Chains A and B, each alone.
Chain A
Amino acid sequence: MTGRAPLSYEAIERELGGLVERSWQSFGMPVLELRAENLLPLVTRLRDRFDFALFLDVTAVDYPERSPRFDVVYHFYSRRHNQRIRLKVRVPAERPVVPTLAGHYGSARYMEREVHDMYGIEFAGNEDLRPILLYEGFVGHPLRKDYPIEREQPMVPYRTG
């Protein structure tokens, strides 16, 4: 394992500073906020240089009153450093698009389908964004804050009487 940089907050800052907009620590975990176009280069370097080989999760956060409305949040884990890292990408409601990570991590295909179900985030390059937890014909994205909490979309017609 020679030639790989040891992990420290400063090393991450130094190596990746150009790709990151803001960074801070949250409960000991580095958090990097970046623009969508820098996501793929940053993830490539995190995986190859810092050994973040495990893609833990991708999810999103909806801030209805904020101007770039959504945060797409990624978590990665490095077994070698026993270290987690969080990436945040802000995307606007009019064009909620981020590049897919399916080329870097195979598990991203399913997790991105779930985020597409629940928040309507588009993952450019992921060809298979069929519903995975929801069903064909479901209208809207239920984890967006403007989805009516009591709206039902039954698959079986209800009994009458």
Chain B
Amino acid sequence: MALMDYMTTKKDELVGWIRKFSLFPYPFVTACCGMEFMAVSSTLYDTDRFGAALPRFTPRQADLLMVVGTISHKEAPILKKVYDQMCEPKWVMAFGACATSGGFYRNYGVLQGIDRVIPVDIYVPGCPPRPETVIDAIMMLQDRIAGDHHPILPAEQRGREPSHANKVFPIFPAADRVPPSQT
């Protein structure tokens, strides 16, 4: 029994160590924060040092969704779909004030933080964030991945609830929507 406990811990450490240095980000860039994303991923600040440098421009190959910029209500279904298409394990970074909370947009059009639609693992403050802030966020996320439980063995998968991401949400569900002609 003690042997099994010991082995489980080592397995999680090993898998966490592997995963934390092979983050493949999907940059969901919608606004001016994209400039800071370019700065932090290019030579001077160089996220390649953290293994998070190769952006995959398909969500199916990515495991870190970086939501960089303002998300409007009209764009939220697209973001939700991109998140649902990513394979487990996956993490989400809300990059900048707009993705975190809507930023200074408090109006009819802007989603007040992407965590209303998809779960967020790490928030990066700033408008836009300094590259150091982003690197700090990546390192905090890496620490968290390293300390996480990684259920990859068949015995660990049994009885697990399927992730909420695999459920299908209708985009226009509510019957309380009135056609615009009735306003």
Contact = CB atoms under 8 A, between A and B. Distances in A.
A150 B77 contact: no
B109 A137 contact: no
Contacts of B179: 137
B108 interface: yes
B116 interface: yes
Interface stretch (B35-43, B58-66, B169-177): B169-177
Contact of B169 (A131, A135, A136, A157): A157
Given A142-B108, A156-B80, A156-B171, A137 B73 contact: no
B183 A156 contact: no
Contact of B180 (A139, A151, A152): A139
A139 B112 contact: no
Q: Main SS of chain A's interface residues? A: loop
Contacts of B106: 149-150
B108 A152 contact: yes
B183 A140 contact: yes
B109 A159 contact: no
Given A139-B178, A139-B180, A155 B107 contact: no
B13 interface: no
B74 interface: yes
A27 interface: no
B7 interface: no
Nearest to A150: B106
Interface string A123-161: 000000001001111111010000101111111111100
Interface of A: 120, 131, 134-140, 142, 147, 149-159
Interface of B: 73-74, 76-77, 80, 106-109, 111-112, 115-119, 169, 171-174, 177-180, 183
Given A120-B183, A152-B73, 12 more contacts: A137-B179, A138-B180, A139-B177, A139-B178, A151-B108, A154-B73, A155-B74, A156-B76, A156-B117, A156-B169, A157-B169, A159-B118
29 contacts: A135-B73, A137-B172, A137-B177, A137-B180, A138-B180, A139-B177, A139-B178, A139-B180, A139-B183, A140-B183, A142-B107, A149-B107, A149-B108, A150-B106, A151-B108, A152-B112, A154-B73, A154-B76, A154-B111, A154-B116, A156-B77, A156-B169, A156-B171, A157-B169, A157-B173, A157-B174, A158-B116, A158-B117, A159-B119
